[in-house]
Amino acid sequence: MSHSVFTPITLPNGATLPNRLAKAAMEENMAATGHLPGDDIFQLYKTWCAGGTGLLITGNVMVDHRAMTGPGGIALEEKTPLAPFKKWAEVASQNGTKIWMQINHPGRQVYAAMGGQVLSPSDIALNMGKHSKLFSKPSPMTELEIEALIQRFVTTASRAVEAGFHGVEIHAAHGYLLSQFLSPLTNKRNDSWGGSLENRARLLFEIVKAIKQVIPENIAVAVKLNSADFQRGGFDEKDALAVVKELGHLKVDLVELSGGSYESPAMQGNTADGQPLNREAYFLEFAKEIAKQAPMPIMTTGGIVRLAIAQKVLDEGVDMVGIGRALAFSPNLPQRWKMSSDTIAVLPQVKWQDKTLAALATMAITKRQLQRIGKGKAPKLNSSPLFSLIYDQLRLKKLTKIYRNKYKNE
């Protein structure tokens, strides 16, 4: 029997989410000084909290400030002051809303301009065509670096719990570090961390086990996983299903299925291998097959703007609906759906020929809306892609300079 999107759901650990709509993680790049959440982040999450989404998953919080996906990112480490994170959890959990922290390490997906560490299972550089020089070639991780990384994930997770977050989501999708270990295209190791799928998935499993050991049972542990890399020879649906089954044995509370990477931005509806995706709910075909055999609730995210499609996701046997960009343009979309079920969120489409620039412009327009909401303003539905991209590049350049200067002085 299918549920309504507004029906609560109880997770394997006994925690209940007020409805089946989740704000999927979007990178905000809105940190205050010192990679901390500040007033803009608080205002943004307060707005989402009032908008009726049952679960808010934060934009990715880094486990290591020396390896950031962007210069305005947030990091939570052993010595990071916790007060701003407590405030973040508090403002985001009014009206019974639940807040989970997405925790991440970018691996090789670090812009060269940032400096900092560029780690990966192997030394395979990103292939972005003529834009490849935007990223540095990574160094293969040593055994010691892998052990230290596991500890960093544990530290960030346990400090998130201390700050009042109701759960953590381990980011193992979109071509970031854990996804790089999972994919045979980026993991060419011949030790116990590479080769077979079991070995490639070992790092993710070790992190899940280590986090599970130190945090209370009522705190949710979720994983964001690619249903596929959408690159020939990469991590595919068979691999995803095998990983999901093993995560069930490890008592993971939810798996969010997405797809793609910087090289193949399927999470924006574009793939490098030409595989067709749904116009909305991009990964539903994969998610519904995996959901049939998954031992935990499955959530899928990607391009949903209509209540009818959100309901279709549940009707197909998937348990949770993740909504990303639509909540940047309509932060109160669930409330609006309750009042009028035919409300459609407006998502600007960037149809440029250069796929990399189109992906960057799409992200830039979305980030501009998050910044507006963070300042207490309404989103602007007709933002120019070109202006947004230039504005975002200039803003990032300025933030990168600050980051590099601070990083050099450490």
Please list, in sequence order, all residues whose beta carbon lies within 8 angstroms of the beta carbon of residue 89, skipping any fewer than 6 positions away: 99, 163, 164, 165
What is the residue extent of each domain of the chain? 9-408
Residue whose C-alpha is closest to residue 227's, from 169, 134, 166, 291: 291
- Please state, in angstroms and rounded to a whole number, the distance separating the CA atoms of residues 181 and 187: 5
The DSSP code for 111 is B
Q: Which helix (H) or strand (E) holds 98?
A: strand 98-104
| pLDDT of the residue at 266 | 59
Dump the DSSP string for 340-366: -TT-B--------S-HHHHHHHHHHHH
For residue 217, the one-letter residue type is E
How many angstroms separate the Cα of 365 from the Cα of each of 184, 225, 328, 383?
Answer: 33, 25, 9, 7
Question: What pTM value is reported for the model?
Answer: 0.95
The H-or-E segment that residue 322 falls in is: strand 320-323
**Domain 9-408, CATH among 1.25.40.10, 3.20.20.70, 3.40.50.460, 3.40.309.10:** 3.20.20.70
Question: Helix, strand or coil for residue 164?
Answer: coil
Cβ(62)–Cβ(75) under 8 Å? yes
The answer for residues whose C-beta is within 8 angstroms of residue 227's C-beta and 6 or more apart is: 237, 240, 257, 258, 259, 283, 286, 287, 290, 300
DSSP string computed for 256-309: EEE---SSS-GGGT--SS-----SSSTTHHHHHHHHHH-SS-EEEESS--BHHH
**Block means of pLDDT (10 residues each) for the chain, length 410 residues?**
89 97 95 96 98 97 95 96 98 95 96 90 90 89 98 98 98 95 95 97 98 97 87 84 97 92 68 61 84 96 90 95 95 96 86 84 92 96 90 92 78
pLDDT for the residue numbered 408: 61
Q: What does the pLDDT read at residue 278? A: 61
Per-residue pLDDT at 268: 62
Under 8 Å between Cβ of 229 and 271: no
Q: What is residue 271's predicted lDDT score, i.e. its pLDDT?
A: 64
State the angle between helix axes of 83-92 and 143-163 in degrees (0 to 180), rounded to the nearest 10.
60
Report which of 175, 198, 173 is spatially closest to residue 124, judged by C-alpha positions.
Answer: 175
